[in-house]
Amino acid sequence: MTNLETYADFYRQSIDQPDAFWTEQAKLIEWKRPFDRVCNYDNPPFVQWFEGGQTNLCHNAVDRHLTDGADRAALIHISSETGVEKTYSFRELHVEVVRMAASLLALGVGQGDRVLIYMPMLAEAAFAMLACARIGAIHVVVFGGFASGSLATRIEDAEPKAIVSADAGSRSGKVTAYKPLLDEAIRLSSHKPAAVLLVDRGLAPMTLLAGRDHLWHEMREQNLTADVPCVWLDSSAISYTIYTSGTTGKPKGVQRDTGGYTVALTASMKHIFDGHAGETFFATSDIGWVVGHSYIIYGPLLAGMATIMYEGLPTQGMDGKPDGGVWWSLVEKYKVSIMFSAPTAVRVLKKQDPALLSKYDLSSLRALFLAGEPLDEPTARWISEGLKVPIIDNYWQTETGWPLLTVANGVTPMQSKFGSPGVPMYGYRVKLLHEVTGEELTAPNQKGVVVVEGPTPPGFMQTVWKDDARFVKTYWTSIPGKMVYNTFDWGIRDDDGYYFILGRTDDVINVAGHRLGTREIEESISGHAQVAEVAVVGVADALKGQAAMAFVVLRDTSLAADSANALKMAGEIMKRVDGDLGAVARPSRVLFVTALPKTRSGKMLRRAIQAVCEGRDAGDLTMLDDPTSLAQISRALNH
């Protein structure tokens, strides 16, 4: 029996016998009250998992480990910005979470109230998230450093009773004061929170508003010996909401439950990540994004693992000086067994000295997982050869909460394929549909829209916060004649059942009547030996409707400094695309830059690039990792 057939049996049980399958997975967590019904799908597309059961996310992530693992490492907070490096055991984490919970209760926060968290990557941010889960409050984490206008719309939508924030964040040594941004956001918002709890890092001065603003170190002091038990919540109780990145207009809050999410993450740590209690997990994302929720805070702790919470760049050492090996030094020091990052971060590291990959003892590392955007084969191959461990792509979304497509090595060892995230994970009824007719595409290598049939598995979004109609309209009715969840991504499936993601359906460009996926063009360009990164966007063209334009970062950026050499390189790239995809896919221009605009979590801002190319407003750019990157796009266009 092949490995895929072995996993296929596991998967098939989850689809054909879901009640039995998820009853077994539910045994991985502790329940205060057993559930009466595994899956309630009486009102599609809405689904309730483990109906009638009561549990608590904080109890399962922290308290239950106190019995046999109290002194094991739980949270490792590291900041290369401030030089802080501190490890909290499960016992110490429990104490701090209880103190934070007591502080929130003292500020009037109760079960069902919202708490907005607007913070950098601090241990206190983890305390706040877990404290909310502990007392039954709903946390709403907003990416730290968001502009006041963007933050204000989220405050209005979430209507938080309290906000937890900090004086400032730091990025590449540059301090961003959060308090003035927060004050302005509250001024702009029609909703005014009753209380603001602030962590003072000593990075920026703060002006406190009497009666509203409170300092964490003072409230912590008042609650040193507090005892706040976990509130046992119905399985369907809301655990958190999180706003999808790139939201325009009215924010779209993805709403998650408690019981289903707790089971789903705990099961994923076992079946997908193959993580074990006592080991260390290192996800390089940010708590402002769903990866930070699922695999910095909750997933590893649910599995009894230590989790690294890192503030800083992948190329900045603990002394603040450039160091392209800082992540690998942490893998060595903390014996990291599982690492989770983004393809963009690997492309950044690809520009560093390759000797850094062999400088440190990485023998503890069993796998590197990558997600957040499609993983091109050259990048996957480079990091695979450097680390000599499996590189496991995984595809999912804020809405899904955990991987939709990957390989489940915790079930049985499975073969990864470069360029493919893998096969559907248990519980996900994944199909490819024709975008216009809704017809299911069953033959190999047919390009269609990736969809999921209901009922969606535990951990999936419940709805859009306060807007069930928007949930149905946005996600479930976009394919003619079908009620299916639309991922809005193109994909194909090969003969072995492995999926390949070809990019967003809304990133399709139409060049003289030919529909082209920008992802496919990027994949071709990435195969050039000198290309480190590339972004392809469709730009309005009076003659062809749209034209593909490629912005390229070379491994040696000096190669593009000479105009003749740049012209030669551009010609080579165009010829490569010609050969791979045909002349119709050839970019109208290939322009060289030293950095591409990305969010701090590594997502490429292709929409912003397109806006600059078309002379439009690029929108809110406060999440940009490198503020000069869009200016480089503009200069390249006008050069």
Mean pLDDT of 314-342: 94
Residue in 504, 506, 584, 592 with CA at minimum distance from that of residue 547:
584
Which residues touch 69 (CB under 8 Å, ≥6 apart)?
Answer: 90, 277, 278, 304
* Model confidence pLDDT, tens digit, residues 113-163: 999 999 999 999 999 999 999 999 999 999 887 788 889 999 999 999 999
**What is the band of 45 on the pLDDT scale with cuts at 50, 70, 90?**
very high
Q: How far apart are CA 134 and CA 227, in angstroms?
A: 12
Class of 3-487 in CATH: alpha beta
pTM of the model: 0.87
**What is the band of 241 on the pLDDT scale with cuts at 50, 70, 90?**
very high
Which residues touch 182 (CB under 8 Å, ≥6 apart)?
Answer: 118, 148, 151, 163, 165, 196
pLDDT at position 1 over 60: no
Burial of 154 (0-12, 13-18, 19+ CB in 10 A): buried
Q: What is the DSSP letter of 231?
A: P
Mean pLDDT of the chain: 92
Range with the poorest average pLDDT among 79-93, 393-407, 510-524: 510-524
Mean pLDDT of 6-20: 96
Percent of the chain exceeding pLDDT 70 equals 97
Range with the poorest average pLDDT among 226-240, 441-455, 622-636: 622-636
Percent of the chain exceeding pLDDT 90 equals 74
Mean pLDDT of 560-571: 91
Are 178 and 169 contacting, i.e. CB atoms less than 8 angstroms apart? yes
Q: Given 3-state DSSP classes, what are the helix, strand and coil percentages for the chain, each rounded to the nearest 5? A: 35, 25, 40
Residue with tokens 């590392």: 365
pLDDT at position 245 over 70: no
pLDDT at position 247 over 60: no
Pick the CATH number of 512-638 from 3.30.70.260, 3.40.50.1100, 3.30.300.30, 3.40.50.720: 3.30.300.30
Which pLDDT belongs to residue 627?
A: 75
pLDDT at position 246 over 60: no
Using CA of residue 387, residue 342, residue 273, residue 326, what is the dihedral sign?
Answer: positive
Q: How far apart are CA 598 and CA 603, in angstroms?
A: 5
Which pLDDT belongs to residue 512?
A: 67
**What is the band of 515 on the pLDDT scale with cuts at 50, 70, 90?**
low
Q: How far apart are CA 546 and CA 528, in angstroms?
A: 24
How big is the CA angle at 170 (ends 194 and 172), to the nearest 5 degrees?
160
Structure tokens at 269: 């740590």
Which pLDDT belongs to residue 235?
A: 98
User: 479 vs 24, which has greater pLDDT?
Assistant: 24
* Model confidence pLDDT, tens digit, residues 411-469: 999 999 988 999 999 999 999 999 889 999 999 999 999 999 999 999 999 999 999 99
Residue in 98, 114, 426, 388 with CA at minimum distance from that of residue 271:
426
Q: How far apart are CA 553 and CA 231, in angstroms?
A: 51
Residue in 578, 566, 564, 582 with CA at minimum distance from that of residue 530:
566
**What is the band of 4 on the pLDDT scale with cuts at 50, 70, 90?**
low
pLDDT at position 221 over 90: yes
**What is the band of 513 on the pLDDT scale with cuts at 50, 70, 90?**
low
Backbone angles phi and psi of 353, in degrees to 5: -60, 120
- CA 352 to chain centroid, in Å, comes to 24
**What is the band of 612 on the pLDDT scale with cuts at 50, 70, 90?**
very high
Q: What is the DSSP letter of 475?
A: I
- Kindly list the domain boundaries of the chain, sorted by start residue: 3-487, 512-638
Residue in 555, 591, 561 with CA at minimum distance from that of residue 346:
555
pLDDT at position 317 over 60: yes
Q: How far apart are CA 519 and CA 537, in angstroms?
A: 9
Helices 518-526 and 377-387, axial angle in degrees (round to 10): 40
pLDDT at position 507 over 80: no
Structure tokens at 399: 């809405």
